[in-house]
Structures are given as structure tokens and as C-alpha cells.
Amino acid sequence: METVSTTIPNPLTIPEQKTFIDSIIERNRNKPGATMVVCTELQNEIGYLSAPLQEYVASEMNVPLSSIRGVVTFYSFFTAAPRGKHSIKFCLGTACYVGGADQLIEKAEQVLGIKIGETTSDGAITIEACRCVGACSQAPVITIDEELFGKLSASKMPKLLKKYQD
């Protein structure tokens, strides 16, 4: 899921980060599942895989760009831009969807003035969708950073979000 509301820095233009990126690629180049391993390390260490970085990894590892894009787009662990200080994820698994996840998202978008997948302009909050987080009995569920909030309703959202806006 992409976060696009602020200018995305390019780590390849920062010599220190470029050296670091090259070392990650070099170290993992010949491992089984190398693409996934490299993407995971870059996400952990750099914090995001921007479009230029995806292109660089594809070219350095001699794999199609579409396979890198596929990984970054499919798994919610990855992001193409830095996440905000707080990461809010809305579960869109069946139980949460049926329980009204779309209304929670709509309210959050309205309160924060951004769309799902975006980061507030002050860099405080990123909102994203995710798959089932395994707490279906508490649907609808969201996670904020490492914490889980269940049995939510749209009317509870503004107060909850307020805590993370300041």
C-alpha cells in the first residue's frame, strides 16, 4: 500500500544509504528467495521501498521490476514511502468488513483529511488497510502501532484518533 502525501526522499542519493543498500543486495544476492529477503531487509533498515529503489533492486538483482512491485504492493508489511510516526491499519478481513470496517475508514479519512494509504502532511499518521489480524471476535478491528482496538464504531474514531494527532 502506498503512502504518497509528502515528497518521498530517495535513499539512493544519500551516499551512506546507497552503500548500505548495496551491501544488503550483495549479501543476499545468491540466497534462495533473494528478492523477498532483500526487500524485507530494505523495508526494515531503510523504512520503505520507493519507486527508484524498487527499480534499482530489480536491475541489480536482474529480476523483472514487476516482481519487486508485486511484492511491495501485495504485502502490507511493505510501503513505497516512509510511514508516519503512527501507523493505523484497518482490518479488511471478512468479519471486520461485515462489521463495518468501511465506515471506520470513511470516518478516519474524514477526520484526518487523507485517503487510505496516505500520510498526514505533518507526518504524524499513516492509514492503511490490512488483512485479518486474528482478532475476528472483536470485529471491527484496527491496530495503531503495536496496539489493537476492537469492537469499534465510527462514532468512537474521532476521540481515538485525537490521541495520535497531537
Q: Considering CB under 6 A, how many residues would be counted as binding ligand FES?
A: 12
By C-beta, is 88 or 141 nearer to ligand FES? 141
By C-beta, is 12 or 133 nearer to ligand FES? 133
In whole angstroms, the minimum distance from the beta carbon of 116 to ligand FES comes to 15
In whole angstroms, the minimum distance from the beta carbon of 150 to ligand FES comes to 8
- In sequence order, what are the residues at sequence separation of 6 or more whose Cβ sits closer than 8 angstroms to the Cβ of residue 80? 2, 3, 4, 8, 48, 49, 50, 51, 54, 72
Return the percent helix, strand and coil in the chain, to nearest 5.
50, 10, 40
Dist. CA 40–CA 152, nearest whole Å: 31
Of 21, 108, 141, 142, the one binding ligand FES (CB under 6 A) is 141
Say whether residue 132 binds ligand FES (CB under 6 A).
yes
Dist. CA 157–CA 26, nearest whole Å: 45
> Would you give the binding string for ligand FES spanning residues 61-100, x where CB under 6 A is met?
------------------------------x-xxxx----
16: Cα within 13 Å, side-chain hemisphere? 2
Grid coordinates belonging to 43:
523495508
Q: Which residues bind ligand FES (CB under 6 A)?
A: 91, 93-96, 132-136, 139, 141
